[in-house]
Amino acid sequence: MPFKDFFTEYGEANLYEIQEVVGKGSYGVVAAAVDTHTGEKVAIKKINDIFEHVCEATRILREIKLLRLLRHPDIVEIKHIMLPPCRREFKDIYVVFELMETDLHHVIKTNDDLTPGHHQFFLYQLLRALKYIHSANVFHRDLKPKNILANADCKLKICDFGLARASFGDAPSAVFWTDYVATRWYRAPELCGSFFSKYTPAIDIWSIGCIFAEMITGKPLFPGKNVVQQLELITDLLGTPSLEAISRIRNEKARRFLSSMRRKASIPLSQRFPDVDPLALRLLQRLIAFDPKDRPSAEEALSDPYFYGLANVEDEPSTQHISKFEFEFERRNLTKEDVRELIYREILEYHPQMLQEYLRGVDQIHFMYPSGVDQFKQQFFRLEGPAGKAGRPPMRRRYASLPRERVCGLIDDDPDQSDSRSRAVVPVPRPALQSPKNSLDIKRSEAPNASAKARPTNDHKQLCYSARCLLRSDSISASKCIGVQGEDYL
């Protein structure tokens, strides 16, 4: 096989031109790059010493597997994974993601001018993604603004599937369920204090409701400092739950606490949020129902009157259930060598010819020529420079998942007080969101007639139409919905 063809088919060493480091941390380095064939901007994430801890390696395996199986416009996409030069000895992996500009947490934190059109359009995208995820029998389990990436055209994508689980309808093992550590502020009440639970997709619906309220107000809805305060804040708004609802709480101490709590009346959301669209509040009330059986499914929420004029069932696909075979590893005690082989098998999904040889039993451990990874090692080494991991990242950055908490982010009021994983401080330009009316000229190939200008008013139907035009956009132009102030992005 010609040398050039080898690189093109396997390593693709000449496919990406690395431009700059956009993130550093204990995990390794994230670099911005350009696909030299298509001109597409991507993020290449180098993860160092992936097998140092089997639990972290398993989490990465889980995420790259789920992101391969869950292909949807509202879910972050892995473009490619570089082929390692040695099957049984590799320690690092290079994952190529689509490049996103920021996350929803930063958008909310730095913008006090989000409009009702933004709220509606953002929520619609999240529920549309969740409908697809749940139709595969997958629970995300860690939905929060930091795990939702955002682009300049108001496009959102859910990321960080490291805590996600696929459900197969049978009894879960302790290994399968006990590592639930999702952020407390967005954790459903039936999970408060519980680390061993058989739960339903309603846990993700609750998280989406909390995110929706945060988009509206600019502040977390239930910023509890511990489990007790979390339940206090929830019941202060929703009132004391019924005995039936309390019985669904898995944690015995939490059940006793709620049972002994003084009776509280619920506060009408219209009183808590007096200037918010009543239809938005009606949907929010459903999303954050205390009892999980009272929460709508993502599909039911998409048909809510709040999305009148925006929802389109043809743009809300479902998918098949994920095969139980794909996640048999979750029920085994894996060794480092087991995880290495499983991750290698996932990498081969992005190298079809090598995969066919692997499936035929061709035991090719080392390769005749250096793979594309060898090319990137030198480029990343130069980019990292003498400062190494301690060096300060540049002013500009992009987000890439896998796993999300390992990606550089702002140090702020993160509710995960128990999370000892370090984050690097990265100054980020403030994304100032404009009104959706300024982005209605965005072009979308699948809906060429959706280019009419909308004028956001208090009329709900008009807001729906405005958001619909935003939705029907494939553009990533930063001059549309989000006008970036300060230093320009790449």
b/e burial code for range 143-162 (CB count within 10 A of at least 16 → b): bbbbbbbbbbbbbbbbbbbb
* pLDDT one-digit tens code per residue, 48-70: 889 999 988 998 999 999 999 99
Closest CA to 101 of 447, 466, 428: 428
Q: pLDDT band for position 235 (50/70/90)? A: very high
Closest CA to 297 of 159, 216, 200, 186: 200
| Contact status, residue 30 vs residue 408, Cβ threshold 8 Å | yes
Q: pLDDT band for position 376 (50/70/90)? A: low
Mean pLDDT computed over 333-344? 92
pLDDT at 415: 52
Q: Is the pLDDT of residue 268 over 90?
A: yes
Instruction: List the Cα angle 247/248/252 in 5-degree steps.
Output: 65
pLDDT at 484: 30
Q: Is the pLDDT of residue 86 over 80?
A: yes
Write down all domains in the chain, each with its CATH number in brackets.
3-100+333-406 (3.30.200.20), 103-315 (1.10.510.10), 431-484 (no CATH)
Closest CA to 50 of 89, 22, 17: 89
Residue predicted with more confidence, 402 or 166: 166
* pLDDT one-digit tens code per residue, 110-131: 888 889 999 999 999 999 999 9
- Looking up tokens 């080494």 gives 381
Max mean pLDDT among 40-54, 278-292, 391-405 falls in: 278-292
Residue predicted with more confidence, 482 or 144: 144
Integer Cα distance of 365 and 265 in angstroms: 66
**Of 58-72, 147-161, 418-432, 463-477, where does mean pLDDT reach its minimum?**
463-477
Share of the chain above pLDDT 70, in %: 67
Name 195's Cβ contacts closer than 8 Å, sequence gap at least 6.
178, 179, 180, 181
pLDDT at 238: 95
Q: pLDDT band for position 380 (50/70/90)? A: low
Closest CA to 407 of 65, 30, 73, 49: 30
Instruction: Tell me: is residue 46 an annotated ligand-binding position.
Output: yes
pLDDT at 390: 40
Q: Is the pLDDT of residue 317 over 50?
A: yes
Q: Is 242 helix (H, G, I), strand (E, B) or coil?
A: coil
pLDDT at 290: 93
Q: Exposed, middle or buried: residue 177 (CB in 10 Å: 0-12, 13-18, 19+)? A: middle
Is residue 142 part of the annotated active site? The answer reads: yes
If you average pLDDT over every residue of the chain, what do you get? 75
* pLDDT one-digit tens code per residue, 191-231: 876 654 567 899 999 999 999 999 999 999 999 998 889 99
Instruction: List the Cα angle 69/73/74 in 5-degree steps.
Output: 90
* pLDDT one-digit tens code per residue, 432-448: 554 443 333 323 333 33
Q: Is 241 helix (H, G, I), strand (E, B) or coil?
A: coil
Residue predicted with more confidence, 468 or 255: 255
pLDDT at 22: 77
Q: Is the pLDDT of residue 412 over 50?
A: no
Q: Is the pLDDT of residue 487 over 70?
A: no
Name the catalytic one among 142, 153, 160, 204.
142
pLDDT at 237: 96
* pLDDT one-digit tens code per residue, 125-149: 999 999 999 999 999 999 999 999 9
| Type of residue numbered 133 | I
- Looking up tokens 């796993």 gives 403
pLDDT at 474: 35
**Of 85-94, 323-332, 335-344, 402-411, where does mean pLDDT reach its minimum?**
402-411
Q: pLDDT band for position 295 (50/70/90)? A: very high
Closest CA to 10 of 372, 320, 392, 268: 372
pLDDT at 162: 86
